[in-house]
Structure 1
Amino acid sequence: MGRDTTGPATHPDHGPDELCQEGTALYERALREGHVPDEDAAAAPCLVDLGLLHPSIEDAARLEPVAPAVALHRLLRASENRIAQERRREARLADLFEPLMRIDGGRTAGGGSSAVGVLSGSERIGRAITEAMADGSEELLAVQPHISHTRTPLAARAEALVRDQDFLDRGGRIRTLYQHTLRHAPSVVARYEQLSGDAQARTLDEITDRLLVVDRAVAFIPANADRTLALEIRHPVIAGFLATAFDRLWRLATPLYPLAARPAAQGGFTPRQRAIAALLVEGHTDTDIAERLGMNVRTARVHIAKLAATLGSESRAQLGYLIGRSGILDREG
């Protein structure tokens, strides 16, 4: 008779990552005592809805807790299923609208949205790049970050090699930017040993995300983190902007092929040490530095330790101060 029936009606909706105070307290109590009376769950119906409490087989008036590890696994699996479902929906929408965007001649509202298309799936992205290069004849500009290069399957690299050689055979020119960490990568060395024609490569400490520009008219850039979506850009202003950005990076880069040049040391410090020093002064973490320079965190920390030893630093804060005093970041000439 005295049971409060207002709890469920006033209980706020929330997910498992935002357990309410009442729910958390009751779940902890159930774990300690092994069960709680069914009526006590009226103020926290979320525990039953989320599967954290279930009716006892021995006594229907009691609720027993599900082990936290089991509950967590179940909720994470449900979350993964929702994410997978959204990705499938994303791919279906991209598949549906891609052909529609191709036939849209700019007559619809939106200011020429047909100039940017969405490509879904590695196979479709690769096919679109192949078609663009087959139509091109002058120049391919490519940016290949460390993470993009290392994640590319061997079969895809082989297909790209054939596609690039066909482009070179038709008189085209290929210019590719890599990170310094790939200067001695066997796959990169092998690529240029196999290609014949006007293929050039240079390296920088930091480059942009993956980019392909064909004849300064068609560009491809990733549209999500795992590279299962890409944008095909045929807007002349955007494609021209990306090509100009590439040109400016190219002028700053160190030649790798056909004539390799060793990145010059400055003030007794290597370019790699200078790049790390600049990021340290900006306050980046070891993980940020490793990601931006295309190396693993362990390697980044080894370089940071060597830099600290060279400058005589005993702490991270002191290292930033000593970098500023050392002149390592000063530009010469």
Structure 2
Amino acid sequence: MDFALVHPDPDDANWLLPVPPSAALGQLLHPIEKEMQDRRLLTAQLADAFEPFMAISAQVSATTHSITVLEGLKRINDTLDVSAAQCQKEVLTIQPGGGRRENILEQALKRGQPLVDRGVAMRTLYQHTVRHSQGTLAYAERMAQGQVEIRTLEELVDRLMIFDRSVAYIPVNDDRHVALEIRQPALVAYLTQVFEQFWNHAVPLLEPVAYDPTPEGISGVQRSIAKLLIEGYVDEAIARRLGMNVRTCRAHIAKLAASLGSGSRAQLGYLIAKSNILDP
């Protein structure tokens, strides 16, 4: 009965009469096919109605609201190469940390030299520690042939690259194997303002860094380390913030302790406060 293969005998309700399977199947499929036709018609009508809105949305998303996650160093570098090749006017970069490894500098030179050759202006922010890196200084000298400016600061935010003020790249995590490509105008403009703020306070690479006067035997770098020490930063965090390796940071801490006559980390904090070396 459920499959319509039998139906009651109109002459005797106690009997069921068979129905040809083809007829039964057609009877069952007809309402289903009718519903499918109605659904297809509704689908086509909805697609037609939404088509103009989808076109506008796709255009806006592609040009102004795109934030793309880039995973893997190869994809990140390939994407940066494309943006560099398309760049016409200006590149802004923040490169925290100390001196670069040779392979990193070669990659930067390979990407940056065509920009210089095309007359694209480039401004780069490093940390003061690159002033002691011969490899980085040699790279800067080669890049200085064009419209290239390099300045340094003691502390910087994480890595940032901006091309033509229309697309920006920032890392997602510390190992920098994941990055964000940002094309949203408001966000790119904000990141550009961040760069400009740092740039205005930075020192040109070829000019000496003017540290505030410090007591005899204590350098400006050691004074910066002392400031971070009393704020509770551990050696690794201090090294990362000042763009140096941990061994160099600890060597500076040891010299600072010797200058102040400290025999322990706890005493060092006390002597830093007592010495007033951080007072204006």
TM-score by length of structure 1 reads 0.60
Deviates more, 1:319-328 or 1:302-311: 319-328
CA distance in 2, matches of 1:245, 1:266: 28
Larger radius of gyration: 2
1:194 partner amino acid: R
| 2:183 corresponds to | 234
Is the counterpart of residue 161 in structure 1 residue 109 in structure 2?
yes
Contact 1:104 1:114 in 2 (8 A): no
Aligned counterpart, 1:135 = 86
- Structure-2 residue corresponding to 1:171: 119
Aligned counterparts, 1:93-172, within 5 A: 104-106=58-60, 114-146=65-97, 150=100, 154=103, 157-172=105-120
CA shift in 2, pair 1:104/1:114, >3 Å: farther
State yes or no: 1:307 paired with 2:256: yes
**TM-score normalised to the size of structure 2?**
0.70
Q: What's the counterpart of residue 213 of structure 2?
A: 266
In structure 1, distance between residues paired with 2:220 and 2:124:
20
RMSD: 2.5
Amino acid at match of 1:178: Y
Distance 1:283 1:159 in 2: 37
Contact kept, 8 Å, 1:266 with 1:328, in 2: the verdict is no
Map of 2:42 onto structure 1: none
Cα deviation code 1:287-318 (max 9, x no counterpart): 22122222222222221121122223333233
After TM superposition, give the deviation of residue 185 of structure 1 in Å. Answer: 1.2
What residue is the counterpart of 2:269 in the other structure? 320
> Relative to 1, partners in 2 of residues 1:254 and 1:219: Cα closer, same or farther, differing over 3 Å?
same
C-alpha deviation, 1:104, in angstroms: 4.3
Distance 1:137 1:213 in 2: 12
Structure 2 alignment gaps of length 5 or more: 1-56
- For residue 171 of structure 2, what is the aligned residue in structure 1? 222
Contact 1:142 1:213 in 2 (8 A): yes
Question: What is the aligned partner in structure 2 of residue 92 from structure 1?
Answer: none
Gaps (5+ residues) in structure 1? 1-102
Which of structures 1 and 2 has the larger relative contact order (alpha carbons within 8 angstroms, sep 6+)? 2
CA distance in 1, matches of 2:196, 2:235: 30
- Corresponding residue for residue 137 of structure 2: 189
Percent identity of equivalent pairs: 46
Query: Contact conserved, 1:137 with 1:172, CA < 8 A, in 2?
Result: yes
Number of equivalenced pairs: 221
- Given that residues 145 and 294 in structure 1 are in contact (C-alpha distance below 8 angstroms), is that contact kept between their aligned partners in structure 2? yes
Residues in 1 aligned to 2:167 and 2:75: alpha-carbon distance in whole angstroms: 16
After superposing on structure 2, the runs of 4+ consecutive aligned residues of structure 1 that deviate more than 4 Å are: none
Q: Deviations over 1:151-192 (max 9, x none)?
A: 6x61x5334313312222322211111122221212211212
**Distance in 1 between the 2:256 and 2:83 partners?**
45
